[in-house]
A and B are shown apart, each in its own frame.
Chain A
């Protein structure tokens, strides 16, 4: 399938009048004509300088360019295509940029300061959230909080929402509303500092956060206290669920309750005790990320002054930490479905949609594989005579096949701990059936209990008001500046 184009009559006219197309032997190729259509689209593109009434920021945790490629091909193959020709919704957005992700003191970033940069406009310190550059990680006395985009937009009358498939107190989601010297202070903080769960309820009470949906209910109730989805684990005796309820918030715990929610009051949805399930494992009754995104937009659209919504497909990252590409990609497809729904529910004329990752993983894609090679399976050889792969696995120098996906480090390491504590091993024999099993861990090199993030750049895709401000290679904090410009600065200029 070729790129879908929004070819206008003007674009058709442009194509027809293009001399190049009349003389070249390749002019009849579908690739050629599709590219000509895109060219016409680009020639005619006009910047959208409307005020952004709404902003939706999708932060796909752990999705750099590599992971985006894997999700794209996986999704395409699930839809019956060879895969490579497929486009995820955001692949077709008119504006994009390459984003640098480093933290003030880390070449390889973590999700707390990266999301913090998007929400404050400045780089931040490893493992901290929304603190000035003087903060010392894990030192409560050094906390120096920054002002958040959510606070500015709320002050201007907009509503704010946060959705995550991880715990709602986890780093990326927390960066919308919290400020902390340690991202792990989710349910407890040293005296003088405030834990992240308490900060969420504080921000709901202050009118900054209007809807928060995700996992992580355990941080909202005292240890051992039975709640709808497990038990609390707070070391203090504070029951934040009761507090939220007493201040008028609507609490929901299942997909059914979310769908039936009144939505007139602030909404706190806590669907699991810890992280929500991977899409592959998601039980009936637990909302999908699309369900949560749609519910949040529906709630936020009630405000005629607009909204800011951050959506975090959080477990793309966790699956890669576990070295399991199947769950990385299935959660990625679930994200794409949520994005498509968000796009359908909003208007490009007044809604800025941004898609990015906070960092990449140590995920690699091996070659040389033929077209349509199953992206979670063995690398199949290029076939002579086109188009699809030959069906014969490519063999490495050790005579064994290998998967397209590999990891630089992690639990799938081919070096295994021996009884004497040393590490050694060889690549095991591998069948296509084993490789494509949903629980298979792709081979990795460096042994580690968890696969790591990577410091390489990530992609950003955007559409809507002022999306054209993204371009080239940018630092992550530019995301804040564009969102701020598209909303508050653009409105002030009118």
Chain B
């Protein structure tokens, strides 16, 4: 039932900032989600904004971005797709349902092509592409077509959208 399984603590902490380096687009102009765990209070406004945008209602279970909490809330870590340069989800997809949006650098799922085989969910090293029980397809972060709602909703600037430093 959970859309995103709990990644190991070690993995999550490795990726608190997420630069995009896709060779097909000039790096300097590509914006990415910049996640600063030190500023996160675990309010989950990001998860609500994401689920409202993509599912039309408030349901963190279907959010493409997840906040993980460690040690009684000592650290809260927002985490989503890194839009990998070498996107394994894309390469393993048997129906070529995942393509690159060259303008944004995002890897986007075409739901009309996705057959819900879940191979991509196994290929992704980070657990950020997931099977959606509502649609029967996989879902992942698409940066809301360049206007990520999670960044807009974050009250503490733990999630911002910009050119990675």
Q: Do A and B bind each other?
A: no
Interface residues of B (CB under 8 A from A): none
